[in-house]
Amino acid sequence: MKILIVTHLAPFPQNSGYPIVVGNTIRGLIAMGHEVALFSLHPKKQRHHQEQQPDELLKQIKFYKHYIDTSITIGRAISSLFNRKLYTIDRYYNADFERLLVQEVKLGHYDIIQFEGLFATPYLQAVRKATTAKLIYRAHHIEHLVWERMAHQKHDPVKRSYLKMIAKRVKKYELQQLLQFDGLAAFTAQDRELMTEYGAKVPVEVLPVGIDLSRYEPDLSKTEFPSLFFLGAMDWMPNREGIEWFLDTFSKELTDGDLRVRFYVAGNDIPERFDDYEVMGKIYIQGEVDDALEFVNSKAIMIVPLLSGGGMRVKIVEGMAMQKCIISTSLGAEGITYENGKNIIIANTQEEFHRAIRRCISDESYCKRIGLNAREQVQKNHETNMVTHKLVDFYQQVLSASV
C-alpha cells in the first residue's frame, strides 16, 4: 500500500508522545513493506529543539516539513472570543502547506491518507476533494474532553468559563470532522465508545500505542533508589497542571517531611516559574534531557499526576517498558491494561499519593516487582509489530468497505 501521513508536528526528534507514536507507526509500516510519505507542519517553537533526525528512517520515506508560526498572541486569542473562530485549531492552518499537500495527494496516488490528531484536520476538505484515497483519522485523544476536564479543575470562575467556552467550540468542530472520515482509530476503548456515541458509521478500531521493545533495555545497576521523577512535554497544559499540583502539594513533604526523597522533573518547555520549586539536593527542575530513556533508567519511581487530559500516555507505556514502578492517577493510566498494585499503582487523592510514595521509597523489592510486571504487560499489548499488523488489517477493512 501507499500511505501518506499528515501531522501537525514533525516527529523528529522523538522526544515526546506524539512524535514517538508517529515514528513507530512509520517504522512498522516500512518493515511490513509498505510505501510511506510524511507531510508535517513544523511549528516555530519546535525549531528551538535540537533535531536529531534518524537518518535510517528518513532515507526510507518521502518527508516534507513546512515551517509555520503557531504561537498564541494575546490579541488574537482575545479577538477569537468575539469572532467565534476556533483559534486553538485555526493557528495550524497554512495556505501554502495546503497547496503543497493537495499537489502531493493528486500526484501520489495513495491508498490511505492518515491524519494524526485534530490539529491536522484543517486540511481535510481540500484533501478530500483531491483524491479517492481512503481517509483515516487517528485520535491521540478526544480533544474537547481535555478542555472540559481542565475547566472542571479550575476554581477561578473566569478561567473556568473561558475553558468551557473553548471546550464547546472544540467539540462542535471535532464532531463535524470525525463524521467525514472513512475510518477512525483510537488508542483507547473509551475513545472508541465516544466516537460511536457521536454517530460514527464507519469502521472504528482501537489501536494501542506501539513501541519497539528492543530500544528499551533497563539497567537497574544505574538506577538511583529511592528517587522520584516526572518526564513529559510541559507545553501540554494537562502535564503542566498536574505537576504543579504535585509540587504544590508535596514539596514540603519531599524536602522536610516523611517523604524525603529526591524528585526530578524533566521535559520540554518547562516554564521559568518552575525554577522556584527547585530545592538544592532535593527537588531538581532539569528541563529537556539529552537522552530520555537514559534519564528514565537512572530513576526509580515514575510519577504521573494527571488531573485532566485524555488518550493513552505514551510516557507510561515507555516507563513500563523500562521496568519502572509507576504511580499514576486513573486518568493518567486511561486506556492502558493494568492491575492496580501489580503492574502500576493508582493514586487519585493526596492521601493515596502520599501512601503510595511512602510504600515505594521504603521497599525496593516491591518497586522492582511492579516494574517487572509492567514490562510483561507492555510485551503483551504494545509491541510495535503486533500493533502495526492490527493497523494494516484496519486499513484493509476500510479499503474493502466500499468495494
Question: Over the chain, what HEC string results?
Answer: CEEEEEECCCCCCCCCHHHHHHHHHHHHHHHCCCEEEEEEEEEHHHHHCCCCCCHHHHCCCEEEEEEECCCCCHHHHHHHHHHCCCHHHHCCCCHHHHHHHHHHHHHHCCCEEEEECHHHHHHHHHHHHHCCCEEEEEECCCHHHHHHHHHHHCCCHHHHHHHHHHHHHHHHHHHHHHCCCCEEEECCHHHHHHHHHCCCCCCEEECCCCECHHHCCCCHHHCCCCCEEEECCCCCHHHHHHHHHHHHHHHHHHHHCCCCCCEEEECCCCCHHHHHHCECCCEEEEECCCCHHHHHHHCCEEEECCCCCCCCCHHHHHHHHCCCEEEECCCCCCCCCCCECCCEEECCCHHHHHHHHHHHHHCHHHHHHHHHHHHHHHHHHCEHHHHHHHHHHHHHHHHHHCC
Who contacts 297 (Cβ-Cβ below 8 Å, separation ≥6)?
A: 218, 219, 222, 223, 322
Instruction: Report yes or no: 16 and 209 within 8 Å, Cβ to Cβ.
Output: no
Who contacts 158 (Cβ-Cβ below 8 Å, separation ≥6)?
A: none
Cell of 356: 503510595
- Is CATH 3.30.70.1290 the classification given to domain 214-381? no
Cell of 394: 484496519
Q: Find the distance separating the first CA and the last CA of the chain, reported in whole Å.
A: 16
Amino acid residing at 141: H
The predicted model scores a pTM of 0.90
Q: What are phi and psi of 73, to 5 degrees?
A: -105, 150
| Strand-pair partners of 116 | 7, 138
Domain ranges of the chain: 2-211+383-401, 214-381
What span, in angstroms and rounded, lies between the C-alpha atoms of 224 and 297?
9
Q: What are 41-85's pLDDT values in tens digits?
A: 998 765 544 455 556 888 899 999 999 988 866 666 566 666 566
Residue 78: per-residue pLDDT: 62
Instruction: Report yes or no: 130 and 8 within 8 Å, Cβ to Cβ.
Output: no
Instruction: Report yes or no: 186 and 334 within 8 Å, Cβ to Cβ.
Output: no
- Is CATH 3.40.50.2000 the classification given to domain 2-211+383-401? yes
Residue 401: per-residue pLDDT: 83
Burial class of residue 217 in the structure, from the number of CB atoms within 10 Å of its CB (0-12 exposed, 13-18 middle, 19+ buried): exposed
Residue 50: per-residue pLDDT: 46
Kindly give the parts of the chain with pLDDT less than 50: 48-50
Cell of 295: 534519564
